[in-house]
Chain A
Amino acid sequence: MVATVTMGVTFAVASYALELGAVWSDKPEQAEACLKAQVPPKALIVSVFEEGRAAFPTQVELFASAQPVWTLEQLREVGKQSRAKGVALYGALDLFHWVPLGKASGDDMLAKQPELMEVNLQRTCNEQEEGRFASPWNPKVRESLLQLVGEVATKLDMLDGLVLDCRLTPGELLGYSDAARVEFILAQSLDPIDLLLDTDDPEEKRYAEEWYRWRLATVTAFFGDVVEAYRKATSTPHGSRAPQRVDTTPDRRDQALPACGSRAPQRVDTTPSAGAATQAGAATKLFSRARKHPAPGAATQAGAATKRVLVQALADLYRLTPRRRGAAAQDWLDWVVNGYVDGLLLEADWAADAGHKSGSYRSAADLLSRTGRQVTCTALVDAPSVEEALKSNAVASLTAQGCERIAVRIARPLAPAGKEVAAP
C-alpha cells in the first residue's frame, strides 16, 4: 500500500482559518521539501544551534568539535531558494538546553564538562524533567554563545532573523552551580544554598524572592546582549529582506536590584578562589554592561533594515508561581517590553487546553496586548508533519482560542514533496 505525501498547506490552513506562519525543520532534506511545496509557508526555520552543537561549521572553540548538519553551501542554497519563493528564513538557537530529555549520558557534552552545567541543590541536573542545561551564569557558556551569535550574524547572512530559546526548566530549581553561586554572592552577598525556600518566615521569603528576581534580571541582561550582538552585526542599510521595524523606546527599566543590607554578611564566604573571582568579575562586568544599554532596537539607525528576532516563549509562564518563573529564568514579557523581540513563538500543551475556560494561548495573548508592543504572536505546534499538525487537537484548541497563526515544528523527516512513500 502506498500513500502520496504532499504538502497541501493552503487548503488545510484555510479550513482552520489559520495562517501557517512557519515550518521548522531540522534537516536539509526537510527544508528543501518545505520549499518545494506548491504553496510554501511564510517562513522556514532551521536549527543552527541545538543540543549544545552548532549545526554549521563554527570557529567557536566550545562548539567546534561537533559534526555540522549543514554545510555553508547547503544553507546558502536554502537561502537562495527561500528568497526565490519569498519565504523568510530563520535560524533557531536553543541557548542553554544542551542535553535534551533522554539523551543524557556519561558521554554528553555536559557530562564531559560538568563545570558548564547548571545544577540543583543536590548538585545534579534532574534528567527526568527536561534533560541537562548549560549554566547561564557561567562566563564561558555566555561568552561562547555570544561568539556563536556573532558568527551566525556574519556567516549566515542568508538568514532573515533568529528564533531564540533562552530558559532553564521551570520544573526544577537549578542555579546552584559554582558559577551561579559566585555571581549571586557578588551581587547580593548571599549564597543560594543558604536560602530557605520553603519557610513561612517573611525575611527568608524575601531573600528567596530576591534570588528569583535576580535570576530573571541576569538572564534578561544576557538575552539583551545576545539580541544586541546580533542586531548590531546585521544592521546594514538595506541589507535585509526582513520587514523594517524601528523601535525607539528607550529602556527605562530600573534593573538595579535592591540591596539586602540587613543580611548578615558573615554568613557568606565572599572570597572564592582566585580563578573563580576573576571569572565572576568578568561576568558581573558583562551583566553591568548589558544593564546600561538602551533597548537593542533603539540603537538601530532609522532607515536601516533590521533582522528580526523571535523568541520561543512558555505561554503559561506567568500563570506559574514566582518560584517556578524564577526557575525557568525566562521573562519574555519583559523582553517584549524592552523591545528585544519582534515576535513570540508560544509553546504549551495546546491539546490540554481544549475545553478549559481560559486557554494558554489566550492568556499569553492577553498579556502581550497589555504591553502595547507590535510583536507577532505565533503558536508553536509539534507534529510529524504539517498536515498532521493541522488535523491535531492542538490546532483545534488554538483555533477556539482565537489563534490566527501557527508554526509547525516537524518532529520526523518529511518525505520530499510529491514522492510516493510506503505507508506505515
Chain B
Amino acid sequence: MLVLWPAVAATPDQPVGQLAHSVTTPAVSAGALSARQLREVRVPLRLDGRSVNVVDLERTGDGWQVKWEHVPVDGSAGEDPEVKALVDRYYRQRAHLLATAGEQAEGFWEAKGYADAAQCLRCHEPEYASWQRHRHAGAVKTLSGRERLVSDCLPCHSTLYRQTGKFSFDAPGAGLSVECASCHGDGVLHSLLGRKNQIVRTPTEETCRQCHQGEHDPDFDYTRALKKVNHGDTGNTEQP
C-alpha cells in the first residue's frame, strides 16, 4: 500500500511521533483502506521531497499493525504507471480547483446584454455548426469586404452592435455577425437556466423583416427563408 500525506509543518528536530499526530487525512491512498480508517492510524513520517514514506498496514484484531520505512528517492526505482496516473490526476484536480477558486467571470449579460454565440455553443454544437455555414455568420465579413462597417449597416449585420451600440473589428466576438440572439431572443435566462420556454425557437416573420425589408431584400419570402436558415438536420424547427 502507498499512502501520501499532505504537507505538514515540521522542523528537522521535531520528534516523528509528534509529527505523526499533526497528520489528519492522507491526500492519496492506494489500497483497500478508507480515509476514515487511515485517520485512526498514527504513522510517523517525514516529508522532505526527496524521500518516500512507505507504510505497511496490517489488520490485527481491532486495530492496525503499522510498519513504516523511510526510503530516500534517488531516481533509480522507476515509476509505477498506475500510481503515477493516480497522483497526476490528484494534482491536476488540485490545480484546477486552485485555478477556479478565484475565477469569476464577468456576467455576459452585463457586457453584452445577450447570450452570444459562444454561450450557445456550449450546448448547441450542431446548431452552431449549421449557423456557421450560413451567410448570417459571415455578415460582418460581407460588410467589411465592401468597406461598409458603418452604423447604418451594422445593426443588421452585427448582433453585437445592435445590442451594445459599439463595434470594434478587433473586439472579442465582433466577427460573430448575426448571432443566435438576433433570431431567438437575448437568451440570457435560457443560457443560465436551460429552460426551453425561455427562448424563441422559431423566429417570427416580423423578426426577420426587421432586416430583410425594402431595398435590402425586396424579394424576401419568410417561408422560403425559414427553410433555408433552418438548422439543417438538427430538427430545431418545432413550434414553441
Contact = CB atoms under 8 A, between A and B. Distances in A.
B93 A123 contact: no
B192 interface: yes
Interface in B51-71: none
List of 10 A-B pairs having minimum Cβ-Cβ separation, nearest first: A198-B96, A123-B35, A319-B107, A358-B110, A198-B92, A363-B107, A252-B197, A334-B193, A318-B192, A363-B110
Contacts of B101: 171
B195 A121 contact: no
Contacts of B189: 333, 337, 367, 370-371
Interface in A280-333: 316, 318-321, 323-324, 331, 333
Contacts of B36: 123
A303 B36 CA distance: 55
B77 interface: no
A127 to B, nearest CB: 11
Given A123-B25, A198-B96, A367 B106 contact: no
B196 interface: yes
B96 A367 contact: no
B92 A366 contact: no
A352 B101 CA distance: 17
Given A213-B194, A367-B188, A319 B105 contact: yes
Interface in B199-223: none
Given A173-B97, A316-B104, A321-B105, A337 B192 contact: no
B188 to A, nearest CB: 6
A149 to B, nearest CB: 25
Given A122-B35, A124-B25, A363-B107, A254 B196 contact: yes
A391 interface: no
Interface string A153-190: 00000000000000000011100000000000000000
A103 interface: no
B100 interface: yes
B104 A319 contact: yes
B95 interface: yes
Contacts of B10: none
Interface string B166-207: 000000000000000000001011001111111000000000
12 contacts: A123-B35, A197-B96, A198-B96, A252-B197, A254-B196, A320-B104, A324-B100, A333-B192, A363-B109, A366-B109, A367-B188, A371-B189
Interface string B25-39: 101000000111000
B35 to A, nearest CB: 5
A197 B93 contact: yes
Nearest to A205: B122
B193 A122 contact: no
A330 to B, nearest CB: 13
A328 B97 CA distance: 14
Interface in A328-348: 331, 333-334, 337
Contacts, number: 72
A238 interface: no
A326 to B, nearest CB: 11
Contacts of A334: 193
A299 B110 CA distance: 35
B109 A367 contact: yes
Contacts of A367: 107, 109, 188-189, 192
B103 interface: yes
A294 B105 CA distance: 33
Given A213-B194, A367-B189, 4 more contacts: A254-B195, A320-B104, A324-B100, A362-B110
A366 B110 contact: yes
A262 B74 CA distance: 45
A366 B112 CA distance: 12
B37 to A, nearest CB: 11
Interface string A344-358: 000000000000001
Contacts of A363: 107, 109-110
A85 interface: no
A80 interface: no
Contacts of A112: none
A253 interface: yes
A202 B122 CA distance: 10
Contacts of A331: 193
A421 B221 CA distance: 80
B93 A337 contact: no
A205 B103 CA distance: 18
- Which of B35, B97, B195, B198 lies at the interface centre, i.e. has the most chain A CB atoms within 10 A of its CB? B97
A320 B105 contact: yes
Contact of B93 (A171, A198, A252, A319): A198
B27 A122 contact: yes
A121 B26 CA distance: 12
Contacts of A366: 107, 109-110
A200 to B, nearest CB: 11
B217 to A, nearest CB: 31
A254 B96 CA distance: 32
Contacts of B104: 316, 319-320
B82 to A, nearest CB: 16
A253 B25 contact: no
